């Protein structure tokens, strides 16, 4: 399997204008007929996404398929930042982190937002957050975790008051593990992403928030099969 990324397509999608703050998934069929302009030594000029994928497959000698695509949109005072991991060449990688940062004040420095946004995108790749904020974790999921932690704590035989403290402590750790704003910053674990945004807001003189984020990894969601699997199951898919 070789690293294949539709990141040029992603950049094109990210530049499209769309209302509101969205993470909009595209089915491959929607993207395949899209016309794009490529600037690459081996692939240049105007073509369709379908033809570009076919050309890439021929170049790498693999069965390459376009499996999915996403669009993030932001406000007029926001930026979309990205980070690619395991990147053999520009625009190609196995894992991508994408994030939108938005400032309330139009005078805020977009360069500062891009700088911090790229760093948080790298953090997203490394830390694998599942939610943006604690409020976005469903009540059912929180209660399920709480029940699991309570069962574990009760097995310690400690008093009920101590058990409740243990449960709340483990629930706090759960949020720090899966919620982006609560996670410790991988570049500096003495702070978290929420504090990083607060510091950025002070730097640019405007409140800065995260609109949304995506983490993508080549092959995620594809069921792993034995070497005798059907050819399409082992196709390189971004």
Residue 84: pLDDT over 50:
yes
What's the sign of the alpha-carbon dihedral 146, 151, 157, 159? positive
- What DSSP string describes 92-106? B-SEEEEEEEEESST
pLDDT in tens, 104-138: 999 999 999 999 999 999 999 999 999 999 999 99
pLDDT in tens, 59-80: 888 888 888 888 788 888 999 9
**Quick check: pTM over 0.85?**
no
In the three-class reduction of DSSP (H, G, I as helix; E, B as strand; rest coil), residue 44 is classed as: strand
* The pLDDT value given to residue 15: 37
Residue 228: pLDDT over 80:
no
Domains present along the chain, CATH in parentheses:
7-135+179-237 (3.30.479.20), 142-173 (no CATH)
Interatomic CA distance for residues 11 and 66, integer angstroms: 15
Structure tokens at 148: 């699991």
pLDDT in tens, 16-31: 333 334 556 677 777 8
* The pLDDT value given to residue 218: 86
């Amino acid at each position: 399997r070789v690293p294949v990324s539709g990141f040029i397509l992603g950049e094109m999608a990210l530049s499209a204008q769309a209302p509101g703050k969205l993470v909009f998934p595209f089915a491959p069929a929607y993207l395949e007929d899209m016309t794009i302009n490529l600037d690459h030594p081996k692939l240049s000029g105007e073509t369709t996404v379908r033809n570009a994928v076919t050309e890439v497959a021929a170049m790498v000698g693999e069965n390459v398929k376009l499996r999915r695509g996403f669009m993030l949109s932001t406000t007029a005072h926001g930026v979309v930042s990205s980070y690619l991991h395991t990147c053999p060449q520009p625009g190609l990688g196995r894992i991508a982190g994408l994030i939108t940062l938005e400032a309330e004040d139009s005078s805020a420095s977009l360069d500062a937002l891009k700088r911090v946004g790229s760093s948080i995108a790298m953090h997203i790749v490394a830390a694998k957050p599942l939610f943006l904020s604690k409020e976005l974790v469903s009540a059912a999921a929180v209660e399920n975790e709480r029940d699991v932690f309570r069962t574990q704590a009760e097995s310690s035989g400690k008093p009920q008051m101590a058990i409740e403290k243990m449960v709340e402590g483990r629930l706090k750790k759960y949020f720090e593990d899966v919620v982006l704003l609560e996670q410790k910053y991988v570049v500096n674990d003495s702070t978290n992403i929420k504090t990083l945004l607060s510091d950025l807001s002070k730097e640019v003189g405007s409140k800065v928030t995260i609109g949304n984020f995506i983490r993508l990894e080549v092959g995620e969601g594809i069921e792993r099969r034995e070497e005798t699997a059907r050819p399409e199951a082992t196709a390189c898919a971004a």
